[in-house]
Amino acid sequence: MESFTLSVTINCKVAQVFKALTAEIPQWWTQMFEGVTNEVGSSFTVRFGESVFKTMTVQELVENQKVVWQVEDSLINIPGLTNQTEWINTTIIWELENREEATLLHLTHDGLHPEVECYGICSAGWEQFVKSLKAYLETGKGTPFLNP
């Protein structure tokens, strides 16, 4: 079973991408954010309205190279979705490669694969928010989920 992967080139320095992943989540993913993302062992929660949340622990930080989050708790309360906790015990891995004035960003969501019920919804969500991250870093304005 192959996990979800996505790669994108972002036209900014690798340190800016690392900072966005470890200190600026409300700017590109969701404004409904609480917790700490820049210390190994710390936890944070991202919410998408009242019925969707993910709580993660920062598992690994290698400055300007890698960020790893372990999903500890999750609820995706979307009509028609029978298994609403599929993200629990999955791992989100961000790998950064310096490309002179750009950064090649690799996202792997280990445990999110085509056999998972939410795969279509969740992979589309990752594509949307990685585009938001790229826009935020290149233009200063992302398109995060807004706190209603």
pTM score above 0.85 = yes
Tell me the pLDDT band of 128, cut-offs 50, 70 and 90: very high
Residue 148 has pLDDT above 80, yes or no: no
Which residues have a Cβ under 8 Å from the Cβ of 140 and sit 6 or more positions away?
none
The predicted model gives 37-45 an average pLDDT of 98
What secondary structure, in 3-state letters, does 3-59 show?
CEEEEEEECCCHHHHHHHHHHCHHHHCECCEEECCCCCCCEEEEECCCCEEEEEEEE
Residue 140, φ and ψ in degrees, nearest 5: 90, 0
Q: Give the burial class of 126: count Cβ atoms within 10 A of its Cβ; 0-12 exposed, 13-18 middle, 19 or more buried.
A: middle
**Helices 119-139 and 14-23: angle between axes, nearest 10 degrees:** 120
- What letter does residue 2 receive in the DSSP assignment? P
Q: What is the mean pLDDT of the chain?
A: 97
The tokens for 111 are: 């445990």
Give tens-digit pLDDT for 85-95. 999 999 999 99
Residue 1 has pLDDT above 90, yes or no: no
Please name each of the domains of the chain with its CATH number. 4-139 (3.30.530.20)
Give tens-digit pLDDT for 53-105. 999 999 999 999 999 999 999 999 999 999 999 999 999 999 999 998 899 99
Query: What is the per-residue pLDDT for 94?
Result: 98
Query: What is the per-residue pLDDT for 69?
Result: 98
